[in-house]
Amino acid sequence: MAALSHHDRHSAVTEMPDDLRADVRLLGEILGQAIAEDGGPDLLADVERLRKAVIAARRRETTVDDVAALVAEWPLDRAVLIARAFTCYFHLANLAEEHYRIRILRQRDRDDVPVPESLPQAVRALRSDVGAAELDRLIGELEFRPVLTAHPTEARRRAVVTAIQRISGHLDLYNTPGRGAGEQQEAKRRLREEVDLLWRTAQLRSTKLDPLDEVRTAMAAFDETLFRAVPLIYRSLDGALEPGTGTRPPLARPYIRYGSWIGGDRDGNPNVTSKVTREALLIQNEHVLIALENAATRIGRTMTPAADRTPLSPALRAALSRAEGDFPDLVSEMATRSPSEPHRQWLLFVAGRIAATRRRDLDLAYRSPADLLTDLRLAQESLVAAGAVRQAYGELQHLIWQVETFGFHLAELEVRQHSQVHAAALAEIEAGGARSERTEEVLATIRSIAWIQERFGVTACSRYVVSFTRSADDILAVYALADHALGDRAPVLDVVPLFESGEDLDNSVRVLTGMIASEPVQKRLAANGRRVEVMLGYSDSAKELGPAAATMRLYDAQAALTKWAAENEIVLTLFHGRGGALGRGGGPANRAVLAQAPGSVNGRFKVTEQGEVIFARYGHMAIARRHIEQVTNAVLLASTSPVEQRTADSAAKFRELADQVATASERAYRGLTEAPGFPEWFALVSPLEEIGSLRLGSRPARRGLGAPKSLDDLRAIPWVFAWAQTRVNLPGWYGLGSGLAAVLDAGGQAELREAYKEWPLFASLLDNVEMSLAKTDRAIASRYLALGGRDDFFKQVMDEYDLTRRLVLEITGHSRLLESRRVLSRAVQLRDPYVDALSHLQLRALTALRTSGDLSDDERESLSTLLLLSVNGVAAGLQNTG
Q: Which residues are catalytic?
A: 151, 543
Q: Which H or E element spans position 752?
A: helix 749-758
First to last CA, the chain: 31
Q: For 47-111, what is the HEC assignment?
A: HHHHHHHHHHHHCCCCCHHHHHHHHHHCCHHHHHHHHHHHHHHHHHHHHHHHHHHHHHHHHHCCC
Are 783 and 594 contacting, i.e. CB atoms less than 8 angstroms apart?
no
Q: Is 605 helix (H, G, I), strand (E, B) or coil?
A: strand
Sign of CA dihedral 191, 95, 257, 458: negative
Are 33 and 192 contacting, i.e. CB atoms less than 8 angstroms apart?
yes
Residue 192 CA to residue 281 CA, distance in Å, equals 39
Q: Is 430 helix (H, G, I), strand (E, B) or coil?
A: helix
* Parallel/antiparallel/unpaired status of strands 259-260 and 412-413: parallel
Say which residues have a Cβ less than 8 Å from residue 388's Cβ, sequence separation at least 6.
305, 310
* Parallel/antiparallel/unpaired status of strands 571-577 and 531-537: parallel
In 3D, which of 48, 62, 43 has the Cα closest to residue 7? 48
Residue 143 CA to residue 635 CA, distance in Å, equals 9
Give how far Cα 698 sits from Cα of 196, 267, 397, 508, 828, Å: 30, 12, 39, 31, 31
Are 5 and 17 contacting, i.e. CB atoms less than 8 angstroms apart?
no
In 3D, which of 880, 876, 881 has the Cα closest to residue 83? 876
Cα 877 to the chain's mean position, in Å? Answer: 18
Are 855 and 848 contacting, i.e. CB atoms less than 8 angstroms apart?
yes
Q: Is 389 helix (H, G, I), strand (E, B) or coil?
A: helix
Give how far Cα 411 sits from Cα of 17, 158, 231, Å: 39, 21, 16
Residue 464 amino acid letter: Y
CB atoms within 10 A of CB 625: 21
Are 496 and 466 contacting, i.e. CB atoms less than 8 angstroms apart?
yes
